[in-house]
Copies of this chain bind each other. A is one copy, B any other.
Amino acid sequence: MPSIDQPVDNTDDKSDFVSDYLLYLLAAASDAASNQFHDTIRKAGLRVPEWRVLACLYDHDGAMITELARLALVEQSRLTRIILQMENRGLVYRKGNPQDKRRVHVYLSNTGRDLANDLVAQAQIHEATLLETLQNSGAEHLKPALQALLQKLG
């Protein structure tokens, strides 16, 4: 038990603004919930944006760079480089579109697909556990509300 301590604030409860500010709550909740799973990601040898790309490709194999950037919530030039790295690691491959030679489509390799399957399964387990933890906390409203928000803002 520290003695000299009279910290400015050791809980968050005195706050006025941020603790009731929607944009903060969204960021903080995303952060808190995701961090739990990010250890799993890193143990699989991936960084978070790479996992996001893998998960998006799981649903949208063959997506274009631009689509994928939007889906995975990363800026395009950054995605280009992430994809190059993932290609070097054999997780994905790129293929030009012969109809429109500007376009580059990205596909999961077999290795990449195995990894994606594995991590998606783990993500679903983690999610189930998380939702269980959140029982009686209004968590049942969470997904629909978030989906509606995305709908309206998308």
Q: CB within 8 Å of B: which residues of A?
A: 4-5, 7-10, 12, 14-34, 36-37, 52, 55-56, 58-64, 67, 71, 73, 99-100, 105, 120, 123-124, 127, 130-131, 133-134, 137-139, 141-154
Contacts and interface: CB of A to CB of B under 8 A. Distances in A.
B64 A8 contact: yes
Contact of A23 (B14, B33, B105, B138): B33
Contact of A12 (B20, B31, B71, B134): B71
A27 B25 contact: no
A56 to B, nearest CB: 6
B26 A30 contact: yes
A99 B2 CA distance: 12
Contacts of A37: 23
Given A67-B8, A145-B137, A25 B59 contact: no
